[in-house]
A and B are shown apart, each in its own frame.
Chain A
């Protein structure tokens, strides 16, 4: 009873040496991942897919801070993603900002819009907030589309970036994106464990009690929007460069909903779940486009689609399978991949007893 508790333990990132060792091993794995992919073609992955997954993971973490931790929904995150992408590209293209300056500025521009959107959101809950944020996402892309400044309907070519005089390729972007993603993940984990994160979760669980305990709802609800938009804006800036070309049409409603799906499928209120959800959804989205290549069922599915639906069979089938997987996951694992992970961990802890 008298043992002095080590209170730092509760907020420490590496609670034990085992976790520390695993984290280091994981970082080493991330370091050599591009090499592994090029050499062994793991799961038919390319560096481009990994980059896309990592960018989506940043978005999913940001969105989860808003939806999973603070309990506010957003169906307009493609808007913040677009803001980040266009701001970064324009800063570099028009005013030759270096990436490492342009990217944070893009994050802050996006978070300023997040703050503005957060204000009306204070009065809205549930379905009403969903519609308001949906309107926001649509408005942003429409404005971008109709302003010459943003390249209009044609969009913008992302400028080529150079690293020590050589043009950057996917592999270079990989390291840039991965370092940013790792830092932002750690930041999110720490944020959630300390004062601000607790205020977010408190608002989600009981806003009335949070307020009665001294949490300023206006401040923290808008702050959650701003933080979430910051993550998404940074991710948007990175996205522009791996795509090479941005066009307002690509930041559509479905994109916002896919982001939301990543968070729900990964696990609401879980940082690791966000990453897993982003990885799974991005991977499926890309791989299902080649569904006809799956032995036996692939061709059968395509034949089915062509016969009963439309000639462009592949995309039909891909979307249906994608949808089915989403339904199955939320049906059987309402806590998402995170819930599955928790149960597996418990299983192994008690194994083999």
Chain B
């Protein structure tokens, strides 16, 4: 089977610093694929290249065989790739509901005229709103965000905001989802729930998951395959058991071994 996502020799520099150097990997459809590495290894940079926020200096990114390397972020989203951010990027003065509704943006059509002039429940714009609110409600149920539904996200606790961001990405109905340190700042219980959610995202929703995480227990439990990076170089790739024992990985994490254990 062809991989859903294929990264070829991805290279990017910032002012002389190679943040990524010829990184290649393939992600199978329906996999939970994790990227690990110490801070500054280039994990977020890979996500930024895939989602079109950064333009790599060389290398290619293919989604289902289609070259998406130089697409804009909004075009990448339309191709079916959604993401979350390491430092939450929510629309803080919108409610949870509206944040998730923005996730439906690409699936909706209402433009300026119809949006400003609809007058009753049967109008096209109103019908579309109602339909997509139904979809969003499913995501709210899936992540158990009912209590946060009508709250402004600025007023929500950190862990809940992380979930709202995940929900917004899910509302986009993506084929591939990129999660950048989703468990950061969560307590043990929240992390446990998150782990089940990530598995459900793959099992129930059929979405391919790319995961950047620091919590090694979570990584080892959920990942099908793992890519290990250090200083922008791929140092290892394989099954969780292989990565756990890999000498290069252990070396990169020297002083952090207790995490790998």
Listed in ascending order, the chain A residues whose CB lies under 8 Å from chain B are 5, 7-8, 10-11, 187-188, 190-191, 194-199, 201-202, 204-206, 208-217, 223, 227, 269
Query: Known interface pairs A196-B112, A199-B105, A213-B103. Does A205 touch B129 (Cβ–Cβ under 8 Å)?
Result: no
Q: Which residues of B contact A214 (CB under 8 A)?
A: 74, 77-78, 105-106, 172
The answer to whether A187 and B116 have CB atoms under 8 Å apart is yes
A140 to chain B, nearest CB (A): 24
Q: Which of B60-68, B84-92, B249-257 contacts A (4 or more CB under 8 A)?
A: B84-92
Among residues of A, the one whose C-beta sits closest to the C-beta of B178 is: A212
| Top 3 A-B pairs, shortest CB-CB distance | A214-B77, A214-B106, A7-B133
Contact of A213 among B93, B105, B117, B126 (CB under 8 A): B105
State the majority secondary structure of interface residues on A: helix
* A190→B116 contact, CB < 8 A: yes
Question: Residues on B close to A: CB < 8 A?
Answer: 51, 53, 72-74, 76-78, 82-83, 85, 89-94, 97-98, 101-103, 105-106, 108-112, 114-118, 121, 125-126, 128-130, 133-134, 137, 168-169, 172
Distance between Cα atoms of A7 and B97 in the complex (Å): 11
A188-B116, A194-B110, A196-B110 known; A211+B72 contact, CB < 8 A: yes
CB–CB B172/A213 < 8 A: yes
Given the contacts A201-B93, A208-B53, A214-B172, A194 and B102 also touching, CB distance less than 8 Å: no
Query: Looking at the complex, which one of B90, B93, B110, B121 makes contact with A209 (CB distance below 8 Å)?
Result: B90
Secondary structure at chain B's binding surface: helix, strand, loop or mixed? helix
Chain B CB count within 10 A is highest, among A5, A199, A213, for A213
B226 to chain A, nearest CB (A): 24
Q: Assess the B94–A198 pair: CB atoms within 8 A.
A: yes
12 further interface pairs, Cβ-Cβ under 8 Å (given A209-B168, A217-B74): A7-B134, A8-B130, A10-B133, A11-B126, A194-B118, A201-B91, A201-B94, A205-B93, A212-B77, A212-B83, A212-B85, A213-B106
| A205→B92 CA distance, assembly (Å) | 6
Assess whether A206 is in contact with B129, with CB atoms less than 8 Å apart.
Answer: no
- B105 near A10: Cβ-Cβ < 8 Å: no
Query: A215 with B126: in contact, given A196-B115, A223-B112 (CB under 8 Å)?
Result: no
Are A209 and B130 in contact, CB atoms less than 8 angstroms apart? no
Report the nearest A residue to B172, measured CB to CB: A213
Instruction: Report whether A199 and B102 are in contact in the complex, using a CB–CB cutoff of 8 Å.
Output: yes
User: CB distance A191 to B112 under 8 Å?
Assistant: yes
Query: Contacts A206-B91, A209-B91 given: A198-B102 contact, CB under 8 Å?
Result: yes
